[in-house]
Amino acid sequence: MKKVLLSTVAILAMSGAAFAQTTGGAGANDQSFADAGESASAVNTNDSASARVNGESASASLADFTGTRDVTRSSASVGDDVIARAFGNGVGAGDVARAQIRPGSGGEYNQNVQFQVGNDNTSINMQVGTFQESATIQLGDANTALISQRRIANEAAISQVGDMNNTALVQDGVDNAAAAAAYGTMNTSFGLQVGGDDNILASAQAGSENSAVTFQKGNDNTAATLQEGTGNQSFINQGNETVNVELAAINGDRFGGGLPTGAIVSGSSVGSLGAVGNSAASLQLGANNRSAIVQTGSGNEAVNYQSNR
């Protein structure tokens, strides 16, 4: 069902075909664009950013159109026959938020939508089963959102606008997809997918001093992280349990993290098992950013893109 298209990056490169491209310009309408294969892309137009992983389709995007109208927004969506989508346009008058879950043709499944406006909110959703959907929107500061799902083909999306927000997406099973988007400063995004293969996770953050940590265990997983701004940190770990990870949920809470801040990974041997066929892409636009990708196993591919635009 899912096709890991990030792997086409290197294959196309070897064949000499154009696999990646950039555009650039000067002034308020600066635009940079990176496209790695068909599946990982990043678009930056002033304060907008998006990350997308196709195939089973998990995407996260956010945008600030302050140049044309006073709107900030963030959205995250996940879909594969079924769609979980969260969208928020910012805090203040004229708040618009929309959370959408559309079940597919497969029958009746569990669905959850949560919408919170204000500060210091906490949202927790736990689902066990298959083809479940969960979408959470939080507008404000110091909010925390957790979605924890187990088993097969679950989808989760979290969208946050504000500062010092925390996102945790925890999926235990196979063929799961998750997306997180955040607009603001000092936000954290944590994604953990364990228990099997074919998982997808996309994370996008626009602002400064944000951090994103993604752990995936299993084969044929795909992760894409995009950060736009300064002082951001990104860490993607696929198949390696040795570089810090903590977690639980449903619901022993406990999240975790690992690396960046100096980001040094070293060693002469990294596990003996590892994982196969994973793809990871980290894209950072701005200054003073740190990125680390760790993959163990064989047939894994990593893309690191940094641009001090």
With respect to other proteins, which residue has the nearer C-beta, 252 or 262?
262
The answer to whether 114 touches 158, Cβ cutoff 8 Å, is: no
Least distance CB 239 / other proteins (angstroms): 8
Instruction: Rule CB under 8 A: choose which of 39, 125, 187, 295 binds other proteins.
Output: 295
Segment near other proteins (CB under 8 A); pick from 58-66, 85-93, 173-181, 300-308: 300-308
Q: Does 291 bind other proteins (CB under 8 A)?
A: yes
Cα(159)–Cα(77) distance, integer angstroms:
9
With respect to other proteins, which residue has the nearer C-beta, 96 or 273?
273
Q: Does 53 bind other proteins (CB under 8 A)?
A: no
Q: Which helix (H) or strand (E) holds 13?
A: helix 8-15
The answer to whether 123 touches 138, Cβ cutoff 8 Å, is: yes
Least distance CB 217 / other proteins (angstroms): 14
Q: Binding marks (x or -) toward other proteins, 6..45, rule CB under 8 A?
A: ---xx--xx-x-xxxxxxxx-----x--x-x---------
Cα(79)–Cα(218) distance, integer angstroms:
21
Least distance CB 166 / other proteins (angstroms): 24
With respect to other proteins, which residue has the nearer C-beta, 17 or 93?
17
Q: Does 46 bind other proteins (CB under 8 A)?
A: no
Cα(217)–Cα(202) distance, integer angstroms:
15
In the range 174-213, which residues lie near other proteins by CB under 8 A? none
Q: Binding marks (x or -) toward other proteins, 234..263, rule CB under 8 A?
A: -----xx----------------------x
With respect to other proteins, which residue has the nearer C-beta, 78 or 294?
294
Other C-beta atoms lying within 10 Å of the C-beta of residue 27: 5
By residue count, the chain amounts to 309
**Inter-CA distances, 262 with 81, 290, 292, Å:** 41, 7, 10
Q: Does 268 bind other proteins (CB under 8 A)?
A: yes
The answer to whether 89 touches 62, Cβ cutoff 8 Å, is: no
Q: Does 290 bind other proteins (CB under 8 A)?
A: yes
DSSP 8-state assignment for residue 31: E
Least distance CB 256 / other proteins (angstroms): 19
In our burial notation (b when 16+ CB lie closer than 10 A, e otherwise), range 196-232 reads: bbbbbbbbbbbbbbbbbbbbbbbbbbbbbbbbbbbbb
Q: Which residues contact other proteins by CB under 8 A?
A: 9-10, 13-14, 16, 18-25, 31, 34, 36, 239-240, 263-274, 282, 284, 286-308
